[in-house]
Amino acid sequence: MRHQSPRIAVVGSLNMDLVLRCQQLPQRGETVMGNGVEQIPGGKGGNQATAAARLGTRVAMIGCVGDDVFGAALRSSLQREGIDVTNLKAVPDTVSGMALITVEESGQNTIVVEPGANALLSPADVQAAEQVIAAADVLLLQLEVPLLTSVAAVEIARKHGVRVQLNPAPAPEALPPELWQSDWLCPNETEAARLTGQPICSPAAAATAALELARRAAGNVLITLGENGLLLVTKGQCWQAGVFRIQPVDATAAGDACVAAWAVAIAEGRSIQDCIRFAAAAGAMTVSRHGASTSLPWRAEVERLLGTQPEAGQLRIATAHEDKIEGSS
């Protein structure tokens, strides 16, 4: 099958998620009983590619899987979403990436990842996909593959004038200079704290971190804050966007949905206000359901939520100089 040029090219990881559910997450050394297990395609790259495809845009996936049963299942899951997997490489004699996810009834989770074939995605693999990246509107990156591979992808995008959006997850101790120059830096609050070296224990601290990241990066930062919404820095101004009212079920992949929705909206040339609402709504829909890729919403669902809660996700000016973020309409 021939594919049209993607609006979004994703360079990233694919994992098979083994999701264990329990009443409460175990403490260190504690054993708790589970109440269900699922096998769900995941990985930040795969999740974000799937989310973008469901939100109505063309997507190409660049990554590695093993030559095992999980690898075949991961490839098939992307194909079912209409994602171009021409540059998804199967590595011989290698296991696919895997994640063990424990989810408690409140929706909070813990995740342990075995990278497997993801660790073998090389700069050469990315260079082989240069034309796919060059044809995209946005290159979407995470950091569950080698840093040098992500750097190579950024260099290709810069060569062809393609916008770069980086979700620095997991956040490394030192981010290469090339990655700081991404057009959009999109961490969650934990990753933002690691990148700045400062704890984020309040909305004001989050705003401080967002402004610091903007000074060090290309100037555009989006921080996902879970139940506290989103923080956006662009053109030197820090903004806060409120949350949508939903019943939380499972926070797995909510950040991936939000980041992917932001990339889709940017690729479509939407206003910043529309981008932030679209991203916040996609994240909220994901939290309302179980699983990783299984919880990612379709565009019609996001649009419906936007229509039923027109006041949610509105931007207001945020300040880092008070005990709480203050807003003005």
Just list the catalytic residues: 256
Task: Report yes or no: 162 and 30 within 8 Å, Cβ to Cβ.
Answer: no
**Beta partners for residue 240, in sequence order:** 231, 316
CA angle at residue 95 from 34 to 165, to 5 degrees? Answer: 85
Measure the CA–CA gap between 145 and 169, rounded to whole angstroms.
10
199-220: buried (b, 16+ CB within 10 Å) or exposed (e) per residue? ebeebbbbbbbbbbbbeebebb
Task: Report yes or no: 198 and 205 within 8 Å, Cβ to Cβ.
Answer: yes
- Tell me the CA distances in angstroms from 329 to 102, 203, 287, 314, 322, one per residue in order: 40, 18, 27, 9, 18
